[in-house]
Amino acid sequence: MNLLRLYRMFKAAYCLILDHLALLWARVSGLPRDVWLLSERGFDARDNAYAFFRYLRTQHPEVRAVYVITPDSPDLPKVSALGKYVRFCSFRHRAYMMTARMLISTHDCGFTPDQTVYHHLRKHGLFKPRGKIAMLQHGVTYQPNHWYNRSECTPDLFVASSELEARVLTEHLCQPEKTVKVTGMPRYDMLDNEEEENLILVMPTWRRYLVSLTPDAFRKSDYFRHFEDLMNDERLLRLLETHSYRLVFYPHVEMQKYYTPCRRGNISVATMQDQDVQSLLKRCRVLVTDYSSVFFDAAYMGKTIVFFQHDQTRYYAEHYPKGLLEYSDFGTVCLTEDEVLKALSAALSQEGGTLNRQEGFFRYHDRHNCDRLFEAILETLG
């Protein structure tokens, strides 16, 4: 038995012991058992769980909603302004987790102190919380992600936004049809273009084969080089200057450890410590991404979308398999830096009109996603 496996077993046993102690304390102390516990990754509040928490606090104050977040999170003030929260990884967090009526998160086991540990504990029947579990998702599932297969992920409610997504979940990932509900994402209720400005948002997703690299090794990767070359291209700088645009590069949260917020003229690098991604999405006129499902948010708002997919072969082989939709249905697919610059030039000069060609993907396009989710949870609770 290697040391890593031994460590994981020790950590799992430690978590189980703490959970049972927390459950005992909760019963003795009379901790409320009708709590709806909400979370994202424990350190943030800017996604579907926060949007639904805000909805509950403003529209259904009768629900005892509690949000899980770290005390040093930049999002803590807006959470505490709405209602009750509990410190991520605290003993009370565990007590709520074991006794809550509803466990609601954007990530599989995101309501726990450790997503990976509890994912495997639940998979093997060792973690059995009292409450029902609602999986809100972080992005739209259009690729068969094994992590969400029913053998791995067993929520009582799985939120979807479209018919295609529901089909991926039921037909390819074996989630029960009664579990999958097409309600739309709660955060879509907060999306609008009222703050739109001359802004290009560049937001690529992560790569599982890059996140363990040292900073020096990462800077030698094709991923880093392609996006760095793009942002330093004189043609892009002239394009921004000519059309009075700014560009913000916002790395995926898993990749932000390799970047430092900075600004060079009309181009800046931002992280979650200094920018809210929802605000950036609403403010931008053009989104440049690679494969990130954040493009669905942009599509929902009718924005121009450009895909920079310089590494298709490796991405599909080593990160996620090819999905069940065509990116070209939502925007312009580019394989090279030159193609990206050509697409951006057309978008900024409005020669090609909008490059967001998908209007009928979402079942709902209104401000009632939270309403539908609330009704779905009540139905799940019976």
SS3 letters across 292-340: CCCHHHHHHCCCEEEEECCCHHHHHHHCCCCCCCCHHHCCEEECCHHHH
Mean pLDDT value across residues 185-194: 86
Q: Is pLDDT of 121 > 60?
A: yes
Map tokens 């057309």 to a residue: 346
Burial (Cβ within 10 Å: 0-12, 13-18, ≥19) of residue 256:
middle
Q: Which of 145, 86, 97, 87 is nearest to 121 (CA)?
A: 97
Q: Which two tokens mark 185?
A: 């994402």
Q: Which of 124, 126, 125, 95 is nearest to 112 (CA)?
A: 95
Q: Identify the three-state secondary structure at position 287.
A: strand
Rounded Cα distance, 70 and 26, in Å: 21
Q: What is the pLDDT of residues 61-101, one digit of tens each?
A: 999 999 999 999 999 999 999 999 999 999 999 999 999 99
pLDDT at 353: 47
pTM of the model: 0.87
Q: What is the pLDDT of residues 325-356, one digit of tens each?
A: 889 989 999 999 999 999 999 999 875 444 55
pLDDT at 374: 98
**Cβ atoms of 85 and 43 closer than 8 Å:** no
Q: Which domains does the chain have, with CATH numbers?
A: 3-184+366-381 (3.40.50.11820), 199-348 (3.40.50.12580)
